[in-house]
Amino acid sequence: MNEIKVETDQPEVLAAIKNSVGDARHVVRELAAVFTERIQPLRLEESESVFNDLTRNIYDLQGLLEFVMELKNGMHYFEGFGMPADPISADSNGLKLFNEMLTSMESRDWVMLADLIEYELSPLLLKEEEWLGDLDEKLKNY
Amino acid sequence: MVFEKNIHVLRQRDSILADEIIQAGQSADINISKSKSGLPTLRIKNIYVHSLYNPQKEAEEWVKSNEQIIASADNIVVFGFGLGYHLSELCKHTDKDITVFEPDPNTLKASLCARDLRSVLSRIKIVTDNAIPYFDGEIVVLTLPSSVKLFMNYYDHVLSRMKSRDIINQGLRIMVVGPVYGGSLEVARYCSSSLIRMGHTVELVDNSRFDETLFYIKEITNGKSHYNALVEQFTHLLSKFFLARCELFQPDIIIALAQAPVTTDCVERIRQYGVKTAYWFVEDYRLMEYWKHIAGSFDHFFTIQKDDFFKKMKQSGLNNYHYLPMAAFPDVHKPVDMFEDEKKYYGSDISFVGAGYYNRKHFFSGLIDHDLKIWGNDWDMRSKLAGFIQRSGSRIDTREIVRIFNASNININLHSSTYHKGVNPFGDFINPRTFEIASCGGFQLVDRRSNLAELFNVDDEIVVFDDLDDIRNKIKHYLENPDEAERIAENGRKRVLRDHTYEKRMEEMLDVIVSAGYESAYWKNDREPVKKLISEAGRETDLGTYLSGFSDQENINLTDIKDRISNEDGVLSRTETIFLMMKELTG
């Protein structure tokens, strides 16, 4: 087990992270499932309802990205518990993908958007969920 | 190499489309790249049509998602060809008939270059235009959305046509009204026969039985005013015949051909029953100006010219016009076997069939150093063409015309003009002869017309000439190269059979009429028995007494009563006033 080095003057940050990781895991799992549901409708139809649902989901995804950025900042205080960067933050993966998805949406390239969700976003969310699980374990042991 | 293999298979099902695809260009908008799975994928105008990651898996899921509706149908229609992944999977999944609509030949070409689609091409029918095939049984429409989005207007149009087809397929009652005489008489017969073959109940009002009367009117007077008055009376009489016939036949749709003796009053009367009315103006609007008086009376006005004619009609406040070019009737206009003596009699190196218009008299004088035969009437037997005019310029019937088209090495087709010395440089519409020669498998040289290239592939299916020098060179070339002429003639025949038959034109016409909004005519429920009406009103009442004046008719409606009141003189009775008010209120 890695040695965890915590800056003791930031106990409220640690508490905030502890409290939110469980919720974040739930949100990521839910988002992964919801986005997976969007893949086929995107490939099969181009209706307003699909577009509206997707817009809502992307808004939620944006919220998750913001949370991950906050988490990243928070983790900085604990030197990451010795963990690698989370998959969404690493190399700005999440941000790049988010921008690609927005571009596809703007150009109404539904096939590309479905591809990004199926082959990039869903695996990324699953990895993120796994990473949050590891973090949760470490926080429990802390 | 893959392209050639695909084209070979496609040619066996649709040689014209195969040629169209070969001739298609390479569009900069179409981009084929390798997907992450290694298979090719397609991007058009920067939008992916298939998955960039795994187009094969995507296609499998497409079929799986549509499984239930595929099972429920007899015919499957697919909008969008793409690279055909979805079609390959569909063909594996079902043995039902599959028709694919794809308007872009460039996309088809790219697909046939990128993938081995032989198993698909041997199974499906591809449609690239608005011609909706006739389907037996239930149809389901599946879409490749990314592809449909690129040609949204086209697919909307096809879908609307397909919905109309449901109505048309149930069979309609159609009345075709022909002229007393003239070129459109045959056209009326061809339309009628085609509609019957399409499964409709058709009544042809054949006014040719009155031609002697019309010719007699010409004989009995030299005075123009007498003649016009008599013709007008005669037209009114024939129009009444038509109306009477309509009431008996109770059509859903009426199609009148150019010069049909139908007055606008009668048309308006018929339209009150909800009957859809169409007029096919198979005339040159520049020479025949009567369109101005009739076009607005019909629901739909079909023409063989567009562009300037459409502008003129629009300026006249009309918006009911549609372009519908002439056609051939392959039951009649067909290749025929002939005995040697027949071939000799009807055949020549070059021939012309048609009347001796001003431009033709001039033009053919420049071809008298050839083995030339001119068939038809109105030629000057004292001119230097006299020796070439067959049977002293007598009329030639259709049976013989078909033989001439078949037996001539080169059929010259020069559209008529009353003021040019040869080819009319502003000629637009295509005469029936163009389609008829091609349908016979005859080789023709036709004068250049602005609307020709959209109906035939010039040089591949038909050859055009611009002037006398040009035609002389082309006559020499094709007489020396009969195989080339034969190949072009065969291509021309295939094109006519595919796109330019009267059956195709009638399909198009009905699609337009029904797509514009169609409900069955309400002949049947509109009229009521006079006896019943009198009995209900009470025989001794004012109303009963008034209605008894209609006892000579079996059934009447409000329009009949209004018409009778309008035709009578004197002061209106109270009952009559009430009927007129009722008519006014009910429209």
Q: Render pLDDT for B34-71 as a digit per residue (tens, 0 to 9).
A: 999 999 999 999 999 999 999 999 999 999 999 999 99
How many A-B residue pairs are in contact by the CB < 8 A criterion? 43
Q: Does B58 touch chain A (CB under 8 A)?
A: yes
Tokens (6 digits) for B271: 């339209």
Q: Does B53 touch chain A (CB under 8 A)?
A: yes
From its phi and psi, is residue B254 left (phi > 0), alpha (psi between -120 and 50) or beta? beta
Beta strands B75-79 and B139-143 are: parallel
Q: Does A36 touch chain B (CB under 8 A)?
A: no
Portion 108-137 of A in contact with B at CB < 8 A: 108-112, 114-115, 118-119
pLDDT by residue for chain B (587 residues), tens digit each? 899 999 999 999 888 899 999 999 888 899 999 999 999 999 999 999 999 999 999 999 999 999 999 999 999 999 999 999 999 999 999 999 999 999 999 999 999 999 999 999 999 999 998 778 878 788 899 999 989 988 999 999 898 888 888 888 888 999 999 999 888 999 999 999 999 999 999 999 999 999 899 888 888 887 888 888 999 999 999 999 999 999 889 999 999 999 999 999 999 989 988 899 999 999 999 999 999 999 999 999 999 999 999 999 999 999 999 999 999 999 999 999 999 999 999 999 999 999 999 999 999 999 999 999 999 999 999 999 999 999 999 999 999 999 999 999 999 999 999 888 899 999 999 999 999 999 999 999 999 999 999 999 999 999 999 999 999 999 999 999 999 999 999 999 999 999 999 999 999 999 999 988 777 777 755 677 788 888 888 888 989 999 999 888 877 888 888 888 888 888 889 899 999 888 887 76
Question: Of B46, B48, B145, which has the smallest distance from its Cβ to A44's Cβ?
Answer: B145
**Domain spans in chain B, listed from the N-terminal domain onward:** 2-168, 171-325, 340-500, 527-586
Complete domains list, chain A, with CATH? 11-141 (1.20.120)
Residue A2 — pLDDT band, cuts 50, 70, 90?
Answer: very low
Q: Measured between alpha carbons, how far is B203 from B178 in angstroms, rounded to an integer?
A: 11
Fold match between domain B2-168 and domain B340-500: yes
Q: Measured between alpha carbons, how far is B233 from B220 in angstroms, rounded to an integer?
A: 15
User: For residues B39 and B56, is the Cβ–Cβ distance under 8 A?
Assistant: yes
Of all residues in chain A, what percent are helix, strand and coil, respectively (each to 5)? 80, 0, 20
Are B149 and A109 an interchain contact pair (Cβ–Cβ within 8 Å)? no
Are B48 and A119 an interchain contact pair (Cβ–Cβ within 8 Å)? no
A contacts of B47 (beta carbons < 8 Å): 107-109, 111-112
What is the arrangement of strands in the sheet containing B75-79, beginning at the earlier edge strand? B125-127, B97-101, B75-79, B139-143
Candidates A25, A141, A139; CA nearest to A74 is A139
Q: What is the pLDDT of residue A140?
A: 75
Q: How many CB atoms lie within 10 A of CB B319?
A: 10
Are B52 and A46 an interchain contact pair (Cβ–Cβ within 8 Å)? no
A contacts of B49 (beta carbons < 8 Å): 111
Residue A47 — pLDDT band, cuts 50, 70, 90?
Answer: confident
Are B53 and A115 an interchain contact pair (Cβ–Cβ within 8 Å)? yes
CA distance A40 to chain B (A): 8
Portion 104-163 of B in contact with A at CB < 8 A: 145-146, 149
CA distance B347 to chain A (A): 60
Q: Measured between alpha carbons, how far is B181 from A45 in angstroms, rounded to an integer?
A: 55
CATH 3.40.50.800, applies to B340-500: no
Q: Does A103 touch chain B (CB under 8 A)?
A: no
CA distance A84 to chain B (A): 28
Residues 6+ apart with CB under 8 A from B496: B327, B328, B330, B435, B438, B439
Q: Does B67 touch chain A (CB under 8 A)?
A: no
Question: Of B52, B58, B149, which has the smallest distance from its Cβ to A43's Cβ?
Answer: B58
Question: Of A44, A45, A107, which has the smallest distance from its Cβ to B46's Cβ?
Answer: A107
Residue A4 — pLDDT band, cuts 50, 70, 90?
Answer: very low
CA distance B58 to chain A (A): 8
Q: What is the pLDDT of residue A8?
A: 45
B contacts of A115 (beta carbons < 8 Å): 48, 51-53
Are B145 and A119 an interchain contact pair (Cβ–Cβ within 8 Å)? no
Candidates A27, A19, A141; CA nearest to A82 is A141
Q: Give the domain B2-168 fold.
A: Rossmann fold (3.40.50)
Residues 6+ apart with CB under 8 A from B353: B375, B376, B396, B401, B404, B405, B411, B433
> What is the architecture of the domain spanning B171-325?
3-Layer(aba) Sandwich (3.40)
From its phi and psi, is residue A107 left (phi > 0), alpha (psi between -120 and 50) or beta? alpha
Q: What is the pLDDT of residue B302?
A: 98
Q: What is the pLDDT of residue B554?
A: 75
Tokens (6 digits) for B218: 């010409």
Substitution target from A45, A115, A121 for chain B, most B beta carbons within 10 A: A115
ipTM exceeds 0.85 = no
CA distance B61 to chain A (A): 8
Judged on CB neighbours under 10 Å (0-12, 13-18, 19+), B48 is buried
Nearest CA in chain B to A42: B145
B contacts of A114 (beta carbons < 8 Å): 51
Candidates B434, B433, B414, B431; CA nearest to B422 is B414
A contacts of B50 (beta carbons < 8 Å): 111
Q: Does B36 touch chain A (CB under 8 A)?
A: yes
Question: Of A40, A111, A119, which has the smallest distance from its Cβ to B146's Cβ?
Answer: A111
Beta strands B444-447 and B410-413 are: parallel
Residue A70 — pLDDT band, cuts 50, 70, 90?
Answer: confident
Nearest CA in chain A to B152: A46
Cβ-count burial B90-112 (b if 16+ within 10 Å, e if not):
bbebbebbbbbbbbbbbbbbbbb
Q: What is the pLDDT of residue B476?
A: 98
Q: Where are the beta strands (DSSP E) in B349-431?
A: 350-353, 372-375, 410-413
